[in-house]
Chain A
Amino acid sequence: MGVVVWWLMTQSVNTRPWEASANYASSEDFSGRSFTQPNAKLGLYVFLAVVTSLFALFISAYTMRMELGDWRPLPDPDLLWLNTGVLVLSSIALQWALIAAKREQVDSMRNGLLAGGFFAFVFIGGQLLAWQQLVDAGYYVHSNPANAFFYLITGLHALHLLGGVVAWGMTTIKVLGGAEVARVRLSVELCAVYWHFLLVLWIILFGLMLST
């Protein structure tokens, strides 16, 4: 919000909206776009703000609920560390694909995309396995709020990743179908941005669950 307000300041102070002028309309100074990024990228950023709000609220609910007496922390399976590593690999692979896309290297881009998607699937599988381990150890979703939050937060994070996998799938199909790099570069970039965001989000969530 602060950033938004500051940005609006720069847009509105020292303007005289009541004065008519031909400047803006005739020159190239003002083309009607506030940002040079493509619309889809800006759309993604706005969406990431919404997701940030969603998870920030979950985290605040988590900390509020934690205060109450019946909170029994559950052991974090070691598998989660491995999963975190896999998600990092996934992010790195997509970054690699993006760099390749910028250099017009089709093969590396394709490999990066495929590796990124592969690791994403491994991550989701790993998360399911972690759930299985906890259930086997008797940590059911309804037996304690700490368990409930664990399943809820990890589940929602995985769902967001699955949403990303849909976008990744559409991009990959185009790439495998032989689309030119220029046509898919933006899609690859958006995937990479989204993956990095989910990685940072996961590290925050994991840190929260480790520390409590």
Chain B
Amino acid sequence: MSTIAHDADDFVASAEVPEMELYHPKTWLGTYVFSQDAKVIAVQYFCTAMGIGFLALIMSMLMRLQLGFPGTFSFINPSVYIQLVTMHGMIMVIYLLTALFLGAFGNYLIPLMVGARDMVFPYVNMLSFWIYFVAVLVLVASFFVPGGPTGAGWTLYPPQAILQGTPGAEWGILLMLVSLAIFIVGFTMGGLNYVVTVLQARTRGMTLMRMPLTVWGIFMATVLALLAFPALLVSAIMMILDMTLGTSFFMPAIVSMGQPLDHTGGNPILFQHLFWFFGHPEVYIVALPAFGIVSDLLSVHARKAIFGYRMMVWAIVVIAALSFVVWAHHMYVSGMNPYFGFFFATTTLIIAVPTAIKVYNWVLTLWRGNIRLTVPMLFAIGFIFTFVNGGLTGLFLGNATIDLPLSDTMFVVAHFHMVMAVSPVLVVFGAIYHWYPKVTGRMLDDTLGKFHFWVTFLGTYAIYYPMHYLGFLGVPRRYYSIEGTDFIPESAMSLNAGISIAAFIVGAVQLVFIYNLIVSYYRGREAGSNPWEATTLEWQTADTPPKHGNFGKELPLVYRWAYDYSVPGAEHDFIPQNVPPSSVEKGTNETNQ
């Protein structure tokens, strides 16, 4: 790597510095590996997250093999099964979705959409990715240590997480906690960048209330993450100490394998509070960027301004604030004071208000729009359906009394997969189909994309709808096998087999998507600079894909919000943000530059 040791401030080009003053690497290593260009870092985040996410997808397939056809596959024993459950959950939530939305989309879209040359601290940004990469390596390493990865469930509840008998209690859990701590350090570095860039590096005319909702979603999610991840760090540090130094933060007096342990008096519920103080905002860390992105996809492909822009911004802010006061709804069965449960049930249901506002506004954006059923639009509409379906079961689980019988059943699995797994992933797919042309300069194949969408969308319903019924029957989650259980009828087994087959089909179709990503990179149709005729700044760059520094010689000047579609009286059905009113009067979309 060549010399990059200067102060971050020395080479920041913010709106007040229109000339190119970025650090330009001279070596291949500095350009593509230890790159300080947010766009390259975004692609690095993307590839790493997709790689580890694919691993987690394979794990879910193995889990479905066991659940659908119990006893058929001897290599999946109870320990392996619970390890698969744990790692699938942890990877998908943190190492895939969080890294993808904030690390990949955040890095790519924030500077481009607000009209900045790069993040404000490019060097820290580069470190952020490589620390994330180390966290992933430590996580993967846990597959190769004696005892394998942890099987404590993604919630890692003590005392069982660190007791002998739980898979991975020797090394797996330690590597898991260390990996999380590293991830949090790396994320904090990235998060500082995203927040300060949005606040300080916007181009002229880009007021906060003219930012695209994508930026709003990622920005608020980052604020949430910066404040919530410390809770996970605190619980990880304290659990590591309980495990290695024999402290009793969480570990109560306990007899393990017939032997009393040295721990006394610790409080496992304390861990649950800390974990969910992080864990619930984490749901919105994933959801808010998805909300923002889907708003922009709907607006672009419906050729219509987003309905209620200011309301959408405020809904994001209110959801973010409320998400810090609902955490104990994950703990209704931990034996809490009923008034406590009442408080958390109330706050939980109040979150439905801003969320419903968002859903109404998405639907109203579609109303009488000039809808183009492109692949990104299909995914965006698919998201609305899935999110509403998943959200409605949240009304059941949010009520303490209804949650009690449903807790730890497949109903919960169905609920959170619909609302925070499938919904955000549909947005991720939509966003990839939408921005791939900007990142690579080529379009993804449309036919394969539609095939990918329909199989994924309908397939996930085939997987998760029946799971609600299994939950009503009382089929527990995380169980290796439910054979020979009296209250579970034989039909539940057939249903499980059917779910598994649907899951395999959906899993296999993701290979088509990967194929599309790779082949289109070489053979896709040339996209041009603005294939969707969108208004936001990333589509107005001089080059596609944008070069280091994003915009040409001059930064764009912003005259309008991001949603000037089908403006009455205008010649074109879209007016980019950097087109001055005088050009529109002349019937052109020319910029001043």
* Complex: A54 Cα to B210 Cα, angstroms: 33
Chain B residues with Cβ below 8 Å from A50 are: 188, 191, 226-227, 230
In the complex, A137 has a CB within 8 A of chain B? no
Chain B residues with Cβ below 8 Å from A17 are: 207, 209-210, 309-310, 561
Q: Report yes or no: A141 in contact with B265, Cβ–Cβ below 8 A.
A: no
**What is the minimal beta-carbon distance from A18 to any residue of chain B, in angstroms?**
6
Q: Choose from A8, A21, A49 the contact partner of B581 (Cβ within 8 Å).
A: A21
* Complex: A20 Cα to B575 Cα, angstroms: 10
Chain A residues with Cβ below 8 Å from B270 are: 61, 64-65
How many chain B residues touch A (CB < 8 A): the figure is 74
0 or 1 for each of B407-422: is its CB under 8 Å from A? (1 = yes): 0000000000000000
0 or 1 for each of A4-42: is its CB under 8 Å from B? (1 = yes): 110010011001011111101110001111110011101
* Complex: A142 Cα to B206 Cα, angstroms: 55
In the complex, A129 has a CB within 8 A of chain B? no
CB contact under 8 A between A142 and B200, given known A39-B12, A61-B234:
no
Closest to A141 in B: B245
Q: Report yes or no: B580 in contact with A31, Cβ–Cβ below 8 A.
A: no
Chain A residues with Cβ below 8 Å from B266 are: 65, 145
Closest to A4 in B: B223
Chain B residues with Cβ below 8 Å from A31 are: 15-16, 204
Q: Choose from A8, A47, A149 the contact partner of B192 (Cβ within 8 Å).
A: A47
Q: Report yes or no: A53 in contact with B227, Cβ–Cβ below 8 A.
A: yes
In the complex, A178 has a CB within 8 A of chain B? no
* Complex: A22 Cα to B560 Cα, angstroms: 8
Q: Report yes or no: A1 in contact with B321, Cβ–Cβ below 8 A.
A: yes
Chain B residues with Cβ below 8 Å from A33 are: 14-16, 199-202
Chain A residues with Cβ below 8 Å from B192 are: 43, 46-47
Q: Report yes or no: A57 in contact with B274, Cβ–Cβ below 8 A.
A: yes
In the complex, B486 has a CB within 8 A of chain A? no
**A15-B310, A30-B205, A64-B270 given. 15 additional CB < 8 A pairs?**
A4-B223, A17-B209, A21-B560, A21-B581, A22-B580, A35-B200, A39-B14, A42-B200, A50-B188, A50-B230, A61-B270, A70-B248, A71-B265, A141-B241, A145-B266
Q: Closest 10 A-B residue pairs measured CB to CB?
A: A32-B15, A70-B265, A25-B205, A20-B560, A54-B230, A25-B557, A142-B246, A32-B202, A148-B247, A24-B205
Which residues on B are within 8 Å of A, measured CB to CB? 7-9, 12, 14-16, 114-115, 120-121, 188, 191-193, 195-196, 199-210, 223, 226-228, 230-231, 233-234, 237-238, 241, 245-249, 262, 264-267, 270, 273-274, 277, 305, 309-310, 313-314, 317, 321, 324, 557-561, 563-564, 575, 580-582, 584
